[in-house]
Amino acid sequence: MLSADYLSTIRSEGRRLLACARRDPVRTVPQYPGWTLTDLVSHTASVHARTILICHERPQERPALPQPPEGADIIEWGESTLEEMIDTLDAADPEVTVWGFWPIPSIGLWERRMVVETGLHRWDGEQAFGEEGALTENVAVAGLEEFGDMWLARLGEMPLLEVVAHDVARSWRYGSGTTAGRVEGTASDLYLRLMSRPSPVTLPAEWAAGVDALDGPSKP
């Protein structure tokens, strides 16, 4: 069994994203120029569908992202895929080794990844309406927990950065060698900045350039 708290977060964040799309399916998403909220739901649902596939088939190599059925209503597909993924994760063994982005990937880490994926894109969806609130604590902390294993390798060699989240009394260290500095803030503001979202956190120049150059997802 996986974390009931994480699964509750995934469901809540997913439903909030779907609610955004229902408000205005063709509204553009500032984070992804050229995307509408329907595109954002389609992308998120494809990632959810891949997680379902990973739980069932336990692949050891990267599977393709599933695409929506031909003619499907994207928002309805997003809703059904969200619920199916939660049920699938709830029944899964978190210790099972599968393909993933981490040194020792497991289904348990995919659950954490879906907390972050769903919560960050919920934030993106609400940003489309000018609602730049915070990430939830579960989403922000899960994101900071996985950053070193998932994103750091894509940045190449980076100087040591200490990240201090006052609201959760936690800190993380990313990179190695020469110290780049220390940044402080809420867990939400810190993770949003590391994901190149608007945030009051200022990163050292090398780190800012690195994270801002990370590739985003392709348009569905």
* Number of CB atoms found within 10 A of residue 26's CB: 9
Using pLDDT thresholds of 50, 70 and 90, give the confidence band for residue 10: very high
How large is the average pLDDT for residues 89-106? 95
DSSP codes, 170-216: EEEEESEEEEEEEEEE-HHHHHHHHTT---S----HHHHHHHHTS--
How large is the average pLDDT for residues 30-58? 97
Fold type of domain 4-127: Four Helix Bundle (Hemerythrin (Met), subunit A) (1.20.120)
- The confidence score (pLDDT) of residue 1 equals 45
Into which CATH architecture does domain 137-212 fall? 2-Layer Sandwich (3.30)
With residue 77 as reference, give the H or E element that holds it: helix 74-91
- The confidence score (pLDDT) of residue 180 equals 86
- Please write the tens of the pLDDT for every residue from 196-219: 999 999 999 999 999 999 988 877
Topology agreement, domain 4-127 and domain 137-212: no
- The confidence score (pLDDT) of residue 2 equals 62
Residues 6+ apart with CB under 8 A from 215: none
Q: Which of 194, 188, 192 is nearest to 174 (CA)?
A: 194
pTM of model > 0.75: yes
User: What are the residue boundaries of the structural domains of the chain, listed by start?
Assistant: 4-127, 137-212
Higher pLDDT, 203 or 132: 203
- Please write the tens of the pLDDT for every residue from 47-74: 999 999 999 999 999 999 999 999 999 9
DSSP codes, 153-165: HHH-S-EEEEEEE
- Taking the C-alpha atoms of residue 123 and residue 134, their distance in angstroms, rounded to an integer, is 8
How large is the average pLDDT for residues 100-112? 95
Q: What is the DSSP letter of 220?
A: -
- Please write the tens of the pLDDT for every residue from 72-87: 999 999 999 999 999 9
Sign of CA dihedral 84, 86, 90, 96: positive
On average, the pLDDT of the chain sits at 95
Rounded to 5 degrees, φ, ψ at 165 are -105, 105
Give me the percent of the chain exceeding a pLDDT of 70.
99
How large is the average pLDDT for residues 167-175? 97
Q: What is the DSSP letter of 103?
A: S
